[in-house]
């Protein structure tokens, strides 16, 4: 036990919480996140639909920031994608953008904030592969 | 005081608890530790257990250390530390102490050596404020006044000044053990622990538990 592969062990520790049913997401994708919300002792599922403007972190700590316009106000929510409080995530549309973080979207609205759709879906939702268990 | 364990800091990750909350944890590979010496009030003037941890080649140790470990029935052990305990008589040389010494939800204190930061100024080392960085100011990150003038006409001892920071013994108290993996010898402790990854840590039951 003296020489340990620390990264391997850390990955093993996190592996129990890793969800393999999460689709691969990139900036520009339009996604629908079904989050479990606990309200006064009752649990319900709330859908939140928007554009992924950033994917951050690897392994268990991976998060996506999803932006939508709600009642004329831009709202951004960060979801830890391996959280058990997220029931499921659906990718509705693959966006074609040139940047990994599309912060420029914050300054745009209406027609200007549209995103081109990818000509061919590189990762079809049906044949998604689970991400490798890295930390 | 109670018996604790020596371990190696592996790094941080996060896990989701039973209430689906995200908990930041530091993973520590603890033990197996071996009792290498029992110190008693009669013989040594105080009651303690000396514990060894980590394999090392014998040629890396001095002959004195090898002899001491031979007497304890062991080959090379890299680290030797003492834990003050009241019931030293309950242990005997050669006993193995493992991760199951601790249980989930238990409070622990963790001792380690903080990462060395080198020579640092007042702002980083002593949380001092700084001067304006612009508008013609030339007083950016200076220490400022270190005391009065003619009286006392000297600088008081212990005045905080720039200097070497870090690389010192740090104790973090009252941390929660989130999970114990006795099989793999792992402790998952909530929050950050002192020192670099791979560094030696001493984990012991919390001294002050209350509230």
Rounded to whole angstroms, the Cα distance separating B61 from B74 reads 13
Specify the range with the lowest mean pLDDT, choosing from A107-111, A120-124, B88-92, B203-207.
A120-124
CA distance A76 to chain B (A): 20
- B49-53, B71-75, B87-91: which is most confident: B49-53
Q: How far is CA B118 from CA A117, B123, B166, in A?
A: 51, 14, 7
CB contact under 8 A, B186 and A9: yes
Predicted confidence at residue B187, as pLDDT, reads 93
The nearest alpha carbon in chain A to B18 belongs to A84
The confidence band for B2, taking pLDDT boundaries of 50, 70 and 90, is: confident
Query: Over 50: is that where the pLDDT of A1 sits?
Result: no
CB contact under 8 A, A83 and B20: yes
Count the neighbouring beta carbons within 10 Å of the beta carbon of residue A89.
Answer: 21
Rounded to whole angstroms, the Cα distance separating B8 from B11 reads 9
Q: Which of A6, A60, A83 sits opposite B197 (nearest CB)?
A: A6
CA distance A11 to chain B (A): 8
Query: What is the tens place of the pLDDT at every residue in A3-48?
Result: 458 788 888 888 888 888 899 999 999 999 999 988 888 889 999 9
Q: Is B11 on the interface with A (CB under 8 A)?
A: yes
Q: Which of A4, A36, A61 sits opposite B8 (nearest CB)?
A: A4
CA distance A17 to chain B (A): 7
Cβ burial of B159 (10 Å; 0-12, 13-18, 19+) is exposed
Q: Does residue B54 contact residue B6 with C-beta atoms inside 8 Å?
A: yes
Q: Is A61 on the interface with B (CB under 8 A)?
A: yes
Q: Which residue spans within chain B are E strands per DSSP?
A: 5-16, 22-30, 33-39, 48-55, 77-84, 96-97, 107-113, 118-120, 163-165, 169-181, 186-190, 200-205
Gap between the terminal Cα atoms of chain B = 19
Q: Is A8 on the interface with B (CB under 8 A)?
A: no
CA distance A133 to chain B (A): 13
Query: Over 60: is that where the pLDDT of A134 sits?
Result: no
ipTM above 0.90, yes or no: no
Sign, CA dihedral B98-B100-B101-B102, equals positive
Residues 30-89 of B with CB under 8 A from A: 32, 54-56, 78
Query: What is the tens place of the pLDDT at every residue in B152-180?
Result: 999 999 999 999 999 999 999 999 999 99
The confidence band for B103, taking pLDDT boundaries of 50, 70 and 90, is: very high
Nearest to A93 by CA among A71, A74, A118, A56: A118
Q: Is A126 on the interface with B (CB under 8 A)?
A: no
Q: H-helix or E-strand containing A65? A: strand A63-70
The nearest alpha carbon in chain B to A11 belongs to B13
């Amino acid at each position: 036990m003296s020489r340990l592969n620390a990264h391997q062990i850390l990955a093993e520790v996190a592996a129990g919480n890793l969800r393999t049913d999460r689709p691969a997401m990139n900036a520009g994708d339009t996604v629908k996140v079904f989050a479990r919300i606990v309200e006064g002792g009752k649990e319900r599922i709330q859908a939140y639909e928007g554009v992924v403007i950033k994917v951050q972190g690897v392994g268990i700590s991976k998060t996506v920031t999803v932006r939508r316009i709600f009642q004329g106000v831009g709202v951004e929510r960060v979801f830890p994608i391996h959280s058990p409080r997220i029931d499921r995530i659906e990718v509705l549309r693959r966006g074609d953008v040139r940047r990994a973080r599309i912060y420029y979207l914050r300054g745009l609205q209406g027609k200007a904030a549209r995103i081109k759709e990818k000509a061919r879906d590189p990762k079809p939702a049906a044949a998604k592969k689970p991400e490798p268990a890295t930390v | 005081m109670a018996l604790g364990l020596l371990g190696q800091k592996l790094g941080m990750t996060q896990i989701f608890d039973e209430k689906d909350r995200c908990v930041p944890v530091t993973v520590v590979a603890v033990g197996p530790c071996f009792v290498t010496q029992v110190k008693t009030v009669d013989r040594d003037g105080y009651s303690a257990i000396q514990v060894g941890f980590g394999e090392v080649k014998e040629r890396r140790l001095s002959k004195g250390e090898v002899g001491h470990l031979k007497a304890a029935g062991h080959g090379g052990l890299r680290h030797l530390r003492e834990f003050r305990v009241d019931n030293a008589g309950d242990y005997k040389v050669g006993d193995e102490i493992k991760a199951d010494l601790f249980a989930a939800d238990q409070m622990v204190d963790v001792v380690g050596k903080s990462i060395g930061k080198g020579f640092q100024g007042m702002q980083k080392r002593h949380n001092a404020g700084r001067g304006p960085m612009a508008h013609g100011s030339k007083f950016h990150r200076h220490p400022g006044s270190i005391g009065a003038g003619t009286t006392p006409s000297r600088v008081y001892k212990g005045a905080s000044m720039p200097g070497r920071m870090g690389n010192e013994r740090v104790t973090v108290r009252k941390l929660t053990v989130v999970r114990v993996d006795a099989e793999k010898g792992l402790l998952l402790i909530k929050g950050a622990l002192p020192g670099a990854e791979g560094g030696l840590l001493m984990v012991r039951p919390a001294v002050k538990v209350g509230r």
